[in-house]
Structure 1
Amino acid sequence: MPSAPLLGTVFFVNELVRKSSLTRSLRIPLTNIYAKGGYCAHVKLGEHQHPVNLVLDTGSSTLVVHNGSYQPHEDTALKPTPYEQDVCYGMGGWYGPVVNTRVSFHGLGLSIHLDDVHVAVTAKEESQSFAQADGILGLAYDGLNTAYDLTSFLQTREVSPEVTYPYTLNQTDASVRDYRKWLHDFPKQTLTPYFTQLEAQGVVANQFALLTHRSSIFQTNSHCPIRKLQASKANHGLLVLGKPHIHADLYKAPIHTAKVLHDKYYNVNVKAVQIDGQPKRSAPALKDSEVKGYCTNGIVDSGASMVMFPPSLYKQLMNDFANHNPQFTNLLAPFMTFDGTEKGIDANKVNLHEWPNIYLYIEGENTEADNNSNDDIEGKHKGHNKGRDIRLCIPPEHYWQIHAPEPEMVSFKILSTPNWPNQSILGLPLLNNYYTIFDRENGDKGVIQFATKTSLSDALHLESSGIFHSQTKQNKNKE
């Protein structure tokens, strides 16, 4: 696919946006080298503009940062609160006090700043919570950003003023799970997430998009320094904050629109999964006991570096791979159990041309945008009849990751685990194939658009790489 002259387009688009009295649109470079394939944005916190790399996660809503990375004691914009938060992810978890402070994004040609953003500072975190990133920026809905008001506890401890920072930073004796049980006895308070605050204050529209390439770090050689990993185009991407549809150089038709069914996660209805050439396999519905916690049988989750299927569906798909080619069974055997550690086999054993596409059938939103034209797609979501199913594709080059987790190895990114609920986690291997637009303005609960992505230009890659290389040098100088 031909590359567009992106860098010129960036400044042209930004000039148009500057003239707009409504909202701005910002392209933010991403890299996957700090979070084991998860994509991080370069963010600055506080009055002192301390640089941190935060994982972008559509499967959570909290902005959390490692205490040592942020250095809140140096932040003159910091405002303590009586709130405490905790989150347990699929891998890892943490707890800590909530403060309000400034958050800044510096994109390609444009910057945005927002004061009084809710930021959780970790008092304690489990080892795999952030990998080598500094924290997580949750991009899901308000309902997942729960805090607990510790005013009564602080009064019993005679803490004055009655705020959690810095007092609870020293409350580190309990495990994350035990502290969670204690914390949840206090009054709940839903905090407005960062992206919702941006939209509410008119900084950006209630839409964002992700353009990514991989779900694992592209490893050029063993023990590769960060600077060299940054040089690979495959390890970069883009976050577009606000009005992602106007960046027409990043995508083209066809565009498929999935219906968001619940505003907790980006919940979708997965109808079926199919190995190309094999029968469709129906995705199981949630059990009655799972509905309250999970809402629907699928979520679109940028914080997941794999696609996770329920055990029953996964078993059917592995049998279908074997029916496609009996030799696949031995190649897939090392990946049949998932312990949270990325595994790999000799890359020479996997010929991607022999592997079939995986198709996902998802309930669609009935719009005119599901066609072969990308004209005016921003305005075509006013009808909300139940849509026909859409078919999305995960090609072999995305569910197999070459040069991962080590050079000359290949990693399989379609996984399951025992006792997993009947919910499919649609992570980066799916998103990597698309320019994925999370449009929270349209539809009852919003829609997710999967547009065919175009190639990033060398000019954009060089500027993106330069932003992260500059920060790496700053951090090294501080050490």
Structure 2
Amino acid sequence: MTTLLRIPITNVFGQGDYSVTLHLGSEKSPVNLLLDTGSSTLVVKSTTYQANLDKKLTPSTAVQEVNYGVGGWNGPVIFTSINIHEHCHKSDHPQSIAKSPSMNLSNAPVALVHSDKQSKTFGDADGILGLAYHHLNKSFDFSDYFTEHKITPALSYPWPFSHEVSEDLVSFKKLMWKYPEHDVTPYFTLLEEQQLSANKFAFYSKRSAIHVNKSHSNKINKIPSDELAKDPLNKGLLILGGGEEQTDLYQGEFQSIKVEHDVYYNVDLKSVQVGTSQPVIAEPLNQKHLKSYFTNAIIDTGAGGIVLTAEIYQQVINDLIAYNANFAQCLAPFKEMSAQLVGIDINELKLEQWPTVYFNFVSEPATANTEEKIVQLACTPETYWQINTPNYDKACFRLLSQLPQWPNQSIIGLPLLNNYYVVFDRSKDKTGVVKFAQQKE
């Protein structure tokens, strides 16, 4: 029988990205893992989860490596127990776990980051909980390598590779591809396969950057995460195994976007529109990238901004300035990513003057008998701008331009999702749908 869990999440450990607390191994070690529909691996810092104390740990011969575009890691795959339960916090005593509804996996795959340097990829979080599909969760069996190099025990944990071999991720990836590859079943897929959860989850959030309130405005040192976590604007909810029944979180009808491929949550973006301006057409994904990236957009809970292709981004900026020439001064600093660490003064920004930005997606593809159906979703100024971040009385613009070396694929992250209650229903139409409903006030 499946269980439904309604679990608190917070954005304070991931610098705006949301994390959930899981408990690992015999010690039920609490770890704050970033919720990421743009990847599939459950990975933790070895410094947080002390594997050497885990009596339930089973090592393997498998190795994983993941690069997120900004940062990456490699390390061993181990198997251990994973517990997730309602009303959990990192400070919970392990004995309290038994008192609330939970989902328990007894022998689940976990990747360990072997390097402290690579652990910086996760900010103050302890790792990532990838919620996409199995295609993104590849591992490589190094049994032959261990035999060739007379490594005993012939296992990937404890990590047997020298610093020179493993620290360069590009060369290590080339080494991995010499050995047999197989997909690791992702955490959420295991929950569904073992009938612990229905094949859907939902995501409720308010912001894409940490909110700093007035009481913290005079703090000289870094504000403690526990203090920031008390702010309601820095909280959210993850619903495992459900969605539509949480009627206190949304109002009105759901709008559905078809998931085109079960790799990422791949969707088809048709256009982006600034207020009443002419829609900016989203070009199809370049042919050379189709085998790896599949569509021109993905829905990504692990992205703190909306990353538009270079062409769409520039036209959106042009349209905003055409809407109001005074906007140019506010937008200018955000040509550089470093501006996200500083922001602009709030008194420069008059949010009531800024237009809503609309995103138009394919709801149902055209068939021989029907026309293509389009869903329009609204991204308000209150979410594509974030006020009181990174400090009180500062503001940051959260529409970003294409990453270097990234294909012409837009990454639809938190600034749009913050406007809605979002259900990832993987059970519908083979590859699933992502459903959006207005949040309740």
Deviations 1:261-303, CA, capped at 9 Å, x for gaps: 0010000000000001211110111111121221100000000
The residue number in structure 2 matching 1:61 is 40
Between 1:336-345 and 1:145-154, the stretch displaced more is: 336-345
> Equivalent residue of 1:202, what SS?
coil
Distance 1:448 1:156, change over 3 A: same
Describe the superposition over 1:399-455 as per-residue Cα deviations: whole angstroms up to 9, x where unpaired: 000011111100000010455421110000011111110000001310000111225
State yes or no: 1:192 paired with 2:188.
Answer: no
Aligned to 1:158: 150
Q: What's the CA shift string for 1:227-275, capped at 9, x where partnerless?
A: 2211100000000000222222222213110000001000000000000
What's the secondary structure of 1:348's corresponding residue?
A: helix
Q: Report the counterpart of residue 412 of structure 2 in structure 1.
A: 426
1:132 aligns with 2:124: yes
Work out whether residues 340 and 390 of structure 2, in 8 Å CA contact, stay in contact via their aligned partners in 1: no
The reply to whether residue 395 of structure 1 matches residue 388 of structure 2 is: no
**Is 1:81 the counterpart of 2:60 in the alignment?**
yes
CA deviations 1:144-190 (Å, max 9, x no partner) are 00000000011123234432111337556532232222222221110
Shift of 1:50: 0.4
Q: Does the CA-based 8 Å contact 2:114-2:159 persist in structure 1?
A: no
1:212 to 177, 180, 205: 205
Q: Tell me the matched-pair count.
A: 417
Deviation at 1:387, TM superposition (A): 5.1
SS class of match (1:186): coil
Contact 2:45 2:119 in 1 (8 A): no
Paired AA for residue 451 in structure 1:
A
* Equivalent residue number for residue 12 of structure 2: 33
Q: CA deviation at 1:36?
A: 0.6
How is 1:330-341 mapped onto 2 (pairs within 5 angstroms)?
330-338=329-337
Matched, 1:408 2:393: yes
The answer to whether structure 1 residue 141 and structure 2 residue 164 are counterparts is: no
Structure 1 counterpart SS, 2:347: helix
Question: Which amino acid counterpart does residue 85 of structure 1 have in structure 2?
Answer: Q
Counterpart selection for 2:110 from 119, 125, 128: 119
Partner of 2:93: none
State the alpha-carbon separation in 1 of the partners of residues 285 and 411 from structure 2: 13
Q: How big is the shift at 1:350? A: 0.7
Does 337-346 or 310-319 show the bigger shift? 337-346
Structure 1 residue aligned with 2:303: 304
What corresponds to 1:12 in structure 2?
A: none
**Structure 2 CA distance for partners of 1:82 and 1:386, relative to 1, 3 Å:** farther
Residue in structure 1 matched with residue 95 of structure 2 by the alignment: none
Q: Deviations over 1:15-64 (max 9, x none)?
A: xxxxxxx3111011101101110100011101110011000000000000
Post-superposition CA distance 1:354-388 (Å, at most 9, x none): 1000000000048xxxxxxxxxxxxxxxxx97751
What is the CA–CA distance in structure 1 between the aligned matches of 2:48 and 2:277, rounded to whole Å? 49
Helix, strand or coil for the counterpart of 2:121? coil
Give the match's secondary structure for 2:289.
Answer: helix
2:394 is matched by which residue type in structure 1? M
Normalised TM-score (structure 2): 0.91
2: CA distance between counterparts of 1:186 and 1:111? 37
Code of the residue aligned with 1:424 in structure 2: it is: S
Name stretches of at least 5 consecutive residues in structure 1 with no aligned partner.
1-21, 367-383, 456-479
Could you tell me which residue of structure 2 aligns to residue 72 of structure 1? 51
Equivalent residue, structure 1, for 2:256? 257
Given the two structures, how large is their TM-score scaled by the length of structure 1?
Answer: 0.84
CA contact 2:82–2:105 (8 Å) conserved in 1: yes
- The amino acid that maps onto 2:430 is D
Cα 1:419–1:94 change in 2 (3 A) is: closer
Q: Distance in 2 between matches of 1:83 and 1:188?
A: 9
The reply on whether 1:441 has 2:408 as its aligned counterpart is no
Secondary structure of the residue aligned to 2:48 is helix
Match of 2:160 in 1: 168
8 Å contact from structure 2 (residues 113, 119) kept in 1 = no
Deviation at 1:111, TM superposition (A): 1.4
Q: 1:100 and 2:79 equivalent?
A: yes
CA change 1:395–1:346 in 2 (3 A) is same
- 1:208-227 CA-to-partner distances (Å, cap 9, x unmatched) read 00001110000232432222
Q: Secondary structure at the match of 2:124?
A: coil
What is the percentage of aligned positions where both structures have the same residue? 40
